[in-house]
């Protein structure tokens, strides 16, 4: 059925509202990849089985990731007229207990993460109240959504629907205000007005470059030619960043709607989504969403009966990091190897098949419907002077609360790591936070009060990138981290520019020498010099930013490099050639666990005799540390 009239629209909306807020109990399981990898599918199956077996009046459904991945699998229960409650770390057994006791009033506050008494719809600004008659006494102890530290500072624009709606239901997307912005612009706005609105919002590209989105659209619209392309970059290659996956899996329609709006503004009739092959679930959800959008006449010919045509094709990437670069991505879409080209002519003028092409990333597209719905003034009030709106960060690594956080630009790193992230687990000390993926850098503790926006991060030698934020503690070696990134980049360098291909290789070799105990005086200076050459003489951003992880760690953690080179010592206890595992006889209880687990028979000892490690045999795999319950194994 194609949507043609506002009545058609209303019918779908009502269908969606019934699904979203049924007049009974609804249970949703977070079924994004992060949920599934911790057992969400088993939880979902167990719930279905229990509900069917006991004939419970409960609808079991699925949703995307609500961001608090640390707590996965997450189950969300909503009873009509009562608060919606989130439960974390669910198992099939716990989930069954939860629903089977639900009608007896067992709300199990101890398992609950938080509750929603109401929900703010970011597209309309409306407040939807879950509670009709106050909060039930048993639920009072459960903290409210905006009271728990993880969510307190968050403002969800790009992630607005993830973990709220069923990504496979276009009706739910419409019910929550979806495709209204598209409807609005097609019936009330000229393409130039849409561009003006996006320009005024101050939205900058969320994929890493930070180029003003509206300006890009305008350049593409004004470029010579009759055929234009709109492309969504969903080749989220930065290791440590996964917001695009979450949006594609949890709210694919927001990206499609953004793209159709962009296509109308730019004057394009064909679009592409280039999505990572490593994200099979995202591809699947995206395909399903696209089919539904086509059925309803929201993508394809004569959209919403307005005569505007725009079709979208989904292409799977080939697992090449460099294809996240716009010209390489376009080469790949053309069926070539993903090698970047010089950009003296921009892709907005000559991109895919040498036609004007506008490329934005997933998170950027997902922002568009909200900007249209709420207006540029509203959007521009969020954030800092030159970085407007919010940014999604994947807060991962050595931090207590890992997950996706969407915060207004300008928030400090300290607030993200300590207030939202809950600091470093295990009582260890913070060492650095790595932002910007392999193009970014490591930021030390002294700069934690830095407000996060595009320009400030660049000033300190890192960058916003796509929003990966990997926290490291004192047990992470910064030389090892630098080597890790350079190893990644030498592997992913397409090989076109000698400086990048050979430079990253040579930098890797030097770093490998340093971590293997073969470091020499002058190595640091050589790395700096090589870094400069690679940066200045490579064509694309991969090479142009490749030295950042090395240069920033040298800048802020030079002492660690020196310890490796001068003293042949790895202060963090990571680099295998420079460390030794030993067992503290005072702490050892001679339980024998480590001896049993040691793969190289390096541990000897007997009952009641403290164990020892034979350094000749030890392969430094760390099995003994994992096995020891008494912290008797130490690294020196």
Q: Which positions touch another protein (CB under 8 A)?
A: 33-34, 36-38, 69-70, 72, 236-242, 245-246, 276-280, 315-316, 318-321, 332-338, 394-398, 402-404, 434, 437, 468, 470, 472, 476, 481, 484-485, 488, 492, 494, 597, 599, 621-623, 626-627
Helical (H) or strand (E) element with 395:
strand 390-397
Comparing CB distances to another protein, the nearer of 119 and 445 is 445
Comparing CB distances to another protein, the nearer of 404 and 554 is 404
Comparing CB distances to another protein, the nearer of 210 and 437 is 437
Question: Cβ of residue 106: shortest distance to another protein, in angstroms?
Answer: 28
Comparing CB distances to another protein, the nearer of 427 and 599 is 599
Residue 531: name the closest of 564, 503, 512, 563 by CA: 503
Comparing CB distances to another protein, the nearer of 92 and 468 is 468
Collect all residues with Cβ–Cβ distance below 8 Å to 354 and sequence separation of at least 6: none
Structure tokens at 139: 């639920």
Cβ atoms of 74 and 68 closer than 8 Å: yes
Rounded distance between C-alpha atoms, residue 625 and residue 632, angstroms: 8
Residue corresponding to tokens 């793209």? 259
Question: Cβ of residue 363: shortest distance to another protein, in angstroms?
Answer: 13
Comparing CB distances to another protein, the nearer of 242 and 310 is 242
Per-residue buried b or exposed e for 225-250, using 16+ beta carbons within 10 Å of the residue's own CB: eeebbbbbbbbbbbebbbbbbbbbbb
Comparing CB distances to another protein, the nearer of 12 and 594 is 594
Question: Cβ of residue 553: shortest distance to another protein, in angstroms?
Answer: 13
Comparing CB distances to another protein, the nearer of 276 and 535 is 276
Question: Cβ of residue 90: shortest distance to another protein, in angstroms?
Answer: 14
Cβ atoms of 483 and 512 closer than 8 Å: yes
SS (H, E, C) 240-293: CCCHHHHHHHHCHHHHHHHHHHHHHHHCCCEEEEEECCCCHHHHHHHHHHHHHH
Comparing CB distances to another protein, the nearer of 37 and 187 is 37
Respond yes or no on whether the N-terminal peptide bond of residue 408 is cis (omega within 30° of 0): no
Question: Cβ of residue 117: shortest distance to another protein, in angstroms?
Answer: 27
Comparing CB distances to another protein, the nearer of 164 and 321 is 321
Comparing CB distances to another protein, the nearer of 62 and 384 is 62
Rounded distance between C-alpha atoms, residue 163 and residue 243, angstroms: 13
Order the strands of the 270-275 sheet from edge to edge: 300-303, 308-316, 270-275, 229-234, 357-361
Question: Cβ of residue 74: shortest distance to another protein, in angstroms?
Answer: 12
Residue corresponding to tokens 């709300």? 107
In Å, what is the CA distance from 1 to each residue of 8, 298, 309? 9, 11, 17
Question: Cβ of residue 341: shortest distance to another protein, in angstroms?
Answer: 15
In Å, what is the CA distance from 224 to each residue of 349, 354, 480, 540, 608? 7, 11, 49, 25, 83
Rounded distance between C-alpha atoms, residue 275 and residue 279, angstroms: 8
Question: Cβ of residue 495: shortest distance to another protein, in angstroms?
Answer: 9
Respond yes or no on whether the N-terminal peptide bond of residue 73 is cis (omega within 30° of 0): yes
Comparing CB distances to another protein, the nearer of 194 and 432 is 432
Question: Cβ of residue 141: shortest distance to another protein, in angstroms?
Answer: 27
Question: Cβ of residue 455: shortest distance to another protein, in angstroms?
Answer: 23
Cβ atoms of 338 and 277 closer than 8 Å: no
DSSP state of 429: P
Comparing CB distances to another protein, the nearer of 175 and 442 is 442
Helices first, then strands: H and E counts in the chain = 24, 21
- For CA atoms 479, 481, 484, 488, the dihedral sign is negative
Question: Cβ of residue 525: shortest distance to another protein, in angstroms?
Answer: 27
Rounded distance between C-alpha atoms, residue 352 and residue 271, angstroms: 11
Rounded distance between C-alpha atoms, residue 441 and residue 464, angstroms: 10
The β-bridge partners of 273 are: 232, 314
CB atoms under 10 Å from CB of 506, counted, come to: 17
Question: Cβ of residue 396: shortest distance to another protein, in angstroms?
Answer: 4
Question: Cβ of residue 463: shortest distance to another protein, in angstroms?
Answer: 15
Per-residue buried b or exposed e for 75-109, using 16+ beta carbons within 10 Å of the residue's own CB: bbbbbeebbbbbbbebebebbbbbbbebeeeebbe
Determine the 3-state secondary structure of 360 from DSSP.
strand
Which contacts qualify for 324-329: CB closer than 8 Å, 24 or more apart? 324/207, 324/208, 324/233, 324/235, 324/236, 324/237, 324/238, 325/540, 325/541, 325/542, 326/233, 326/351, 326/359, 327/351, 327/540, 328/494, 328/540, 329/231, 329/233, 329/235, 329/274, 329/359
Question: Cβ of residue 11: shortest distance to another protein, in angstroms?
Answer: 36
Comparing CB distances to another protein, the nearer of 78 and 476 is 476
Question: Cβ of residue 365: shortest distance to another protein, in angstroms?
Answer: 18
Question: Cβ of residue 516: shortest distance to another protein, in angstroms?
Answer: 15
Comparing CB distances to another protein, the nearer of 212 and 573 is 573
Rounded distance between C-alpha atoms, residue 513 and residue 526, angstroms: 13
Comparing CB distances to another protein, the nearer of 98 and 247 is 247
């Amino acid at each position: 059925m194609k949507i043609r009239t506002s009545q058609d629209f209303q019918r779908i909306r009502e269908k969606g509202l019934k699904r979203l807020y049924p007049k009974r109990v609804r249970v949703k399981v977070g079924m994004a990849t992060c949920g599934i990898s911790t057992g969400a599918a088993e939880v979902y199956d167990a719930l279905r089985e229990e509900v069917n077996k006991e004939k419970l009046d409960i609808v079991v459904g699925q949703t995307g990731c609500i961001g608090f991945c640390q707590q996965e699998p997450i189950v969300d229960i909503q009873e009509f007229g009562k608060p919606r409650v989130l439960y974390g770390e669910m198992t099939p057994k716990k989930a069954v207990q939860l629903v089977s006791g639900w009608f007896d009033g067992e709300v199990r506050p101890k398992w609950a993460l938080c509750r929603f008494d109401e929900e703010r719809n970011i597209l309309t600004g409306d407040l939807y109240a879950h509670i009709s008659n106050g909060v039930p006494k048993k639920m009072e102890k459960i903290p409210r959504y905006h009271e728990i530290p993880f969510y307190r500072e968050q403002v969800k624009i790009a992630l607005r629907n993830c973990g709220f709606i069923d990504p496979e239901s276009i009706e739910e997307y419409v019910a929550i205000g979806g495709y209204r912005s598209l409807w609005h612009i097609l019936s009330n706005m000229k393409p130039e007005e849409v561009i003006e609105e996006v320009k005024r919002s101050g939205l900058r590209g969320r994929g890493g470059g930070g180029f003003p989105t509206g300006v890009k659209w305008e350049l593409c619209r004004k470029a010579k030619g009759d055929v234009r392309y709109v492309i969504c970059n969903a080749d989220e290659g930065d290791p440590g960043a996964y917001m695009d996956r979450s949006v594609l899996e949890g709210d694919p329609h927001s990206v499609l709607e953004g793209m159709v709006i962009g296509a109308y503004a730019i004057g394009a009739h064909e679009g592409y989504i280039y999505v990572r092959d490593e994200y099979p679930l995202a591809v699947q959800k995206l395909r399903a969403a696209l089919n539904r959008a086509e059925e309803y006449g929201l993508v394809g010919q004569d959209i919403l009966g307005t005569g505007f045509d725009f079709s979208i094709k989904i292409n799977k990437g080939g697992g090449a990091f460099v294809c996240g670069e716009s010209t390489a991505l376009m080469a790949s879409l053309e069926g070539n190897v993903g090698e970047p080209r010089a950009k003296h002519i921009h892709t907005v003028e000559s991109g895919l098949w040498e036609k004007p092409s506008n490329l934005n990333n997933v998170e950027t597209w997902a922002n568009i419907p909200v900007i249209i719905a709420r207006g540029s003034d509203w959007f521009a009030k969020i954030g800092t002077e030159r970085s407007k709106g919010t940014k999604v960060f994947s807060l991962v690594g050595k931090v207590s609360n890992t997950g996706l956080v969407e915060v207004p630009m300008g928030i400090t790193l300290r607030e993200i790591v300590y207030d939202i992230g809950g600091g470093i687990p295990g009582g260890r000390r913070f060492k650095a936070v790595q932002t910007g993926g392999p193009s970014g850098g490591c930021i030390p503790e002294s700069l934690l009060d830095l407000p996060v926006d595009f320009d400030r991060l660049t000033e300190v030698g890192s960058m916003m990138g796509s929003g990966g934020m990997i926290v490291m503690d004192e047990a992470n070696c910064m030389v090892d981290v630098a080597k890790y990134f350079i190893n990644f980049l030498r592997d992913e360098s397409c090989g076109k520019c000698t400086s990048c291909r050979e430079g990253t290789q040579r930098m890797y070799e030097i770093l490998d020498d340093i971590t293997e105990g073969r470091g020499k005086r002058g190595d640091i200076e050589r790395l700096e010099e090589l870094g400069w050459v690679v940066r200045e003489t490579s064509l694309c951003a991969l090479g142009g930013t490749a030295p950042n992880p090395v240069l920033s760690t040298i800048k802020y953690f030079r002492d660690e490099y020196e310890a490796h080179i001068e003293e042949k010592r790895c202060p963090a206890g990571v680099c295998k050639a420079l460390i030794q595992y030993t067992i503290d006889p005072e702490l050892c209880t001679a339980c024998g666990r480590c001896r049993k687990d040691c793969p190289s028979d390096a541990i000897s000892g007997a009952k009641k005799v403290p164990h020892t490690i034979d350094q000749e045999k030890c392969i430094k795999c760390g099995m003994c540390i994992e096995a020891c319950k008494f912290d008797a194994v130490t690294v020196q």
